[in-house]
Amino acid sequence: MGETKHVPVLLERTVELLTPALSRSDAVLVDATLGLGGHSEAVLSRFPDVHVIGIDRDAEALRLSRERLAPFEGRVTFYEGVYDEITDAIADAGRRRVAAVLFDLGVSSMQLDEDDRGFSYARPAPLDMRMGQEGTTAAEILATYDKGELVRILRTYGEEKHAGRIADAIVRRRETAPLRTSDELVALVREALPAAAMRTGGNPAKRTFQALRIEVNDELGVLRRALPAALDAVDVGGRVVVMAYQSLEDRIVKKAFAAVTTVDVPPGLPVVPEERQPRFTSLTRGAETASEAEIAENPRAKPVRLRAVERVRESA
């Protein structure tokens, strides 16, 4: 499959950040969002002693990554599940702690490109949006959530200013016929928005699709649970690297990393006790972004925000 050769976002920078942790003997990397396995392939190629634990809830992604990583048989443990199950995935692989954890968040290129998944607003497709095989679809949400719930997810997860107008249109539409396909939803959003909102550039349904996808897959809840588990899982010298593609995710990452890299003592204390020293140090100054050259080659890199931390001491 040609898509399996897609070059991952920020590949070289990601490997650079992981290198000190993965250069140790018997190092283990948890690729918490394995996808098509591009980052893991690079790591396995460059670090012959590293073992990868690859997690993905998408059975098709796991099948394709197994094909891609077949040359590294015996050095990869595959785990089908949601990435907040990091602790279970590590235990199933017979490990207790790991050298590094990598998150490449959001919807994968494969999921965007598959017409029957409904992630993309660019092509007609069933309104599914599930990253795995279980759970409520986007179509079911549109058919069953009341107006207040629809407004909540559109405002909270899509940061949509016109959530009320879109929710009204959804409720009116389903009185006659349910929304079943992505093109139907795009058309509804276009009709619901005021003319001024249509002139801001980009597809006007983008925020609605983002909100539905996050709700369907509980993406922010999963991330909030996964980050503490990842931070707890790495040894001293271990690293956690996260690539986020929208502001809601990046804010969660920023907050979680700030909590473990800042000193929690009263201001002006002359000496910080060892047990109050932060467990982690930041490896990035704020959030790093893709270069103009990479964005030109791969437009999906444009929104990426990369943050990374290293464990410098055990917990008190």
Domain 2-104+219-311 annotated CATH 1.10.3980.10: no
Average pLDDT over residues 68-97: 97
- Check whether 3 has a pLDDT greater than 50: no
- Please state, in angstroms and rounded to a whole number, the distance separating the CA atoms of residues 232 and 174: 46
255-301 pLDDT, tens digit per residue, is 999 999 998 766 767 777 777 789 999 999 999 999 999 999 988 89
The answer to whether the beta carbons of residues 131 and 107 sit under 8 Å apart is yes
pLDDT of residue 229: 98
Tokens of 114: 């598959």
Average pLDDT along the chain = 90
pLDDT of residue 277: 83
Q: How many CB atoms lie within 10 A of CB 66?
A: 15
What ranges do the domains of the chain cover? 2-104+219-311, 115-217
Report which residue type is found at 4: T
Tokens of 291: 């270069």
- Please state, in angstroms and rounded to a whole number, the distance separating the CA atoms of residues 272 and 288: 30
Tokens of 24: 């140790």
Model confidence band, residue 7 (pLDDT cutoffs 50, 70, 90): confident
Tell me which residue of 127, 115, 152 sits closest to 216, measured CA to CA.
127
Q: How far is CA 291 from CA 23, 36, 42, 144, 294, in A?
A: 26, 23, 20, 43, 5
CATH architecture of 115-217: Orthogonal Bundle (1.10)
Q: Which of 25-29, 106-110, 172-176 has the lowest mean pLDDT?
A: 106-110
104 is in an annotated binding site: yes
Q: How far is CA 144 from CA 113, 179, 183, 193, in A?
A: 27, 11, 19, 22
Q: How far is CA 236 from CA 201, 206, 228, 243, in A?
A: 46, 41, 15, 22
54 is in an annotated binding site: no
The sign of the torsion formed by the CA atoms of 123, 124, 127, 130 equals negative
pLDDT of residue 268: 67
pLDDT of residue 202: 74
- Please state, in angstroms and rounded to a whole number, the distance separating the CA atoms of residues 105 and 63: 19
Average pLDDT over residues 148-154: 98
83 is in an annotated binding site: yes
25-72 pLDDT, tens digit per residue, is 899 999 999 999 999 999 999 999 999 999 999 998 999 999 999 999
Model confidence band, residue 108 (pLDDT cutoffs 50, 70, 90): low
**For the chain, what percent of residues have pLDDT higher than 90?**
77
DSSP 203: -
Model confidence band, residue 203 (pLDDT cutoffs 50, 70, 90): confident
6 is in an annotated binding site: no
215-247 pLDDT, tens digit per residue, is 999 999 999 999 999 999 999 999 999 999 999
- Check whether 196 has a pLDDT greater than 60: yes
Average pLDDT over residues 187-209: 84
The answer to whether the beta carbons of residues 240 and 309 sit under 8 Å apart is yes
- Please state, in angstroms and rounded to a whole number, the distance separating the CA atoms of residues 168 and 184: 15
Q: b vs e for 204-242, b when ≥16 Cβ sit within 10 Å of the residue's Cβ? A: bbebbbbbbbbbbbebbebbebbbebbbebbbeebbbbb
Q: How many CB atoms lie within 10 A of CB 251?
A: 13
- Please state, in angstroms and rounded to a whole number, the distance separating the CA atoms of residues 245 and 261: 22
56 is in an annotated binding site: yes
